[in-house]
Amino acid sequence: MTTSLVPFLDLKVDKVVSVPPATTDAEKQRAQLISQGLKGLPSMGIHTVRDALYYFPRRYIDQSENSDLAALEVDTEVTVLAEVLTLTQRRSRNGDKILTNVVLTDDNGATLDATFFARNTWSARYLESMLKPGTRALFSGKVGRYQGRRQLAGPDYELLDVGTEYAEQSLAHADDLVAIYRGKGKATSQAIRKVIRELLSQLPDLSDFEPLDQQMRTKYRLLPLGQALRQIHQPRERKEYRAARRRFRFEEALVLQTELARRRADAQTYRAEAWPLRDDGILAAFDERLPFELTDSQRKVGDELAAEIATETPMLRLVQGDVGAGKTVVAMRAMLQVVDGGGQAALLAPTEVLAAQHLRSVRALMGDLAAGGTLMAEANATKVTLLTGALGAKERKQALLDAASGQAGIVIGTHALLSDQVQFANLGLVVVDEQHRFGVEQRDVLRNRGELTPHTMVMTATPIPRTVAMTVFGDLAVSTLKQTPARRHPRATHVVPEGKEQWMARTWARLADEVKAGHRGFVVCNRISDTSIEEDTQTTSDEDAEPRILHTVEDTVARLSTLPALAGVRLAPLHGRMTPADKDATMAAFSAGEIDVVVSTTVIEVGVDVPEATIMVVLDADRFGISQLHQLRGRVGRGADPGICLLVSPVAPETLAGQRLAALEASEDGFALAETDLKLRHEGDVLGGAQSGFASSLRLLRVIDDADLIEQARSEAQHIVADDPQLAQHRVLAAAIAEMLAGREEFIERS
């Protein structure tokens, strides 16, 4: 790890802050909180002064205004400013604790109970002395329900009354804003605030260690670093923390965009083999045999890819498009351009199911052009080979030979392609499908195999708003398939309230109707088995999502098999615990019409193409994100008959999850839905865990709200890197990039 240029910021927090001596109760309380903070911060990944000062408040409370207690929802973590209305104490039933019951009130007369548990008489008396009726304080905890009333059980509290012995100097002004931090364990918001206040009191002059130079700060009206740190942690009024946040959002954008600009510049220094277009090769023959017309968008993106593949600069391009936009055909044409020149293309898919689907799709579209190596093959035909972990020893040996000898112009596979045993004769193009499911090191195994760097095309079926592409995939050129080939029939989406038995009965009856009409269907579940209370998985984690027993694949197959409405319907499970061979066999049987309904997890989310599938029922639909649901419903209605997607959920329409489902019901536009997803959910869900398996790396930057700011930072970063590629004259900015990259390279290199 690069040594920080600012020694103070690089010091350990416990080397700067110490627990002060204490004699009075107020001093003891302060010392206890500082001690708690120092012990608890390391578990939150906060070790240095920089870590602590860049751990920004999640919100602020104006201590001149009590919170609206009536608006609090059960099962949410809150920090409220309220007044103590009454306090009563009693022994617990077994006598081992003294219960202090406090009724809190706000300016409108609404109330909230708070219960504290004291183990001895001294602790109970201390609570009684601190929380006298009329006292105003901050109370933090989770809202529960007891005997029909909302309550905080064992909350943290902090007195704010001016003039009390416990009141702090920084909170002694009526117009002060109190910073609220996201705490963990003993490191409560109050404890974190105490530690940060101690750090700020020792903050040296940081003017010589600014990542943003004076000219840039003046141009964009940004605060200097030291002032911004004080204003974001200890604002006197709202405009102070707003100005500080804006400065740090710009700093975050500049650091990120500078690193992306460096990587774009670095990519230009590598050399690839050029694969110019031919008018008499396999690509021309493929185009002649296509059973449909390419859209204007497919042609435009295809031209962009063809031009870059024909140069000696390695292509690094993201191709995105809505469900059914035709990304596979665009990728095939790029691969065949390389094959025309004697090169090879590798298509990397995230799952066995998707790899097998790609193989079927490629062979079906190419026909005898994919029969290379056989007696009946045409002169310019090539071989399309599948290489996955499901292959037997004989098949695997042949696939390895096909790749190493160059006989296979196109090799489709999963992570098995990344094995050291896999060698290519002349790899010219790597196509990565659903890039966010692969780590950077995995992708680069193929890119770094030979002396020359192969061209790289990244595909995603999740539409990405422009600002997200600019922020997360900023070192990639982006091509967008804006058109979707017209479907012969519309696809309907309806939200089904799970609590209404008649609606659920009609759901299963509709599934049966589709099967009787000769069609096929999917039922999607959140989990494979185990009916325990929901655990955190790849699904969403809304604050309004109450724990409940979720539907599972195994239970759903068993339950649907007993429904009279589905008598005679052939059901089969499909999930990640099945062997690759069993998954492939199930999908093949489903495609052939030997299975009517597949009860599946999200392994069928992308790439699965069964034209006869016309209906999808998604159980616990609120536990999935908008983009994921949009991809799922894209599996039905792909053929000659209309499709229908039924989103089953018990959540109320007014919740965030309910709003997501309503958005899906109202729109088929994947790009519009992606924008909605970002607005309804924090970027951390969209850019992080829910989409990439990595927690949000954005502290304050908001890719929708801060689009203009990101554009400004991107422009500045391009100028900086163009003038100073090694950042020799921007040492502090380089150090900030190094700090950002510590533990965050996967986020930056996701492209």
How far, in Å, CA of 499 to CA of 357, rounded?
A: 36
Q: What is the CATH number of domain 62-175?
A: 2.40.50.140
What pLDDT is recorded for position 103? 95
Domain 491-692 sits in which CATH superfamily?
P-loop containing nucleotide triphosphate hydrolases (3.40.50.300)
Mean pLDDT of 461-488: 67
Nearest 5°: the CA angle 20, 21, 23 is 135
Residue 302 has pLDDT above 60, yes or no: yes
Residue 536 has pLDDT above 60, yes or no: no
Say what angle helices 626-633 and 656-666 make with each other, to 10 degrees.
Answer: 40
| 487 pLDDT tier (thresholds 50, 70, 90) | low
Report pLDDT digits (tens) over 558-574.
999 999 999 999 999 99
Mean pLDDT of 623-643: 85
Residue 107 has pLDDT above 90, yes or no: no
What pLDDT is recorded for position 585? 87
What pLDDT is recorded for position 723? 94
Domain definitions of the chain by residue range: 62-175, 252-268+699-748, 282-481, 491-692
Report pLDDT digits (tens) over 191-222.
899 999 999 999 998 888 899 999 999 999 99
* Portion of the chain with pLDDT greater than 70, in percent: 84
Query: Where are any strands of DSSP class E within 92-176?
Result: 98-105, 111-118, 136-146, 149-153, 156-159
| 388 pLDDT tier (thresholds 50, 70, 90) | confident
The candidate with the shortest Cα–Cα distance to 116, out of 95, 97, 133, 129, is 97
CB 671 within 8 A of CB 465: yes
Report pLDDT digits (tens) over 133-182.
998 888 888 888 888 899 998 888 887 654 444 444 444 443 468 888 88
The candidate with the shortest Cα–Cα distance to 212, out of 744, 724, 717, is 717
How far, in Å, CA of 225 to CA of 211, rounded?
A: 9
Tell me, yes or no, if the two domains 282-481 and 491-692 fold the same way.
Answer: yes
Residue 647 has pLDDT above 70, yes or no: yes
Q: What is the DSSP letter of 3?
A: P
What pLDDT is recorded for position 698? 64
Q: 149-153 and 111-118 as β-strands: parallel, antiparallel, unpaired? A: parallel
Mean pLDDT of 656-672: 84
Q: Which residue has the higher pLDDT, 162 or 716?
A: 716
Residue 128 has pLDDT above 70, yes or no: yes
Mean pLDDT of 692-714: 68
How far, in Å, CA of 230 to CA of 374, rounded?
A: 73
HSE, side-chain direction, 13 A CA sphere, residue 659: 11
| 2 pLDDT tier (thresholds 50, 70, 90) | very low
Domain 282-481 sits in which CATH superfamily?
P-loop containing nucleotide triphosphate hydrolases (3.40.50.300)
Please spell the DSSP secondary structure of 498-564, one letter per residue.
TT-HHHHHHHHHHHHHHHHTT-EEEEE-SBSS--SBP---SS---TT----BPPBHHHHHHHHTT-G
In what helix (H) or strand (E) does residue 174 lie, and over which residues does it extend? none
| 420 pLDDT tier (thresholds 50, 70, 90) | confident
How far, in Å, CA of 320 to CA of 327, rounded?
A: 8
What pLDDT is recorded for position 326? 84
In this structure, the number of other CB atoms found within 10 A of the CB of residue 718 comes to 16
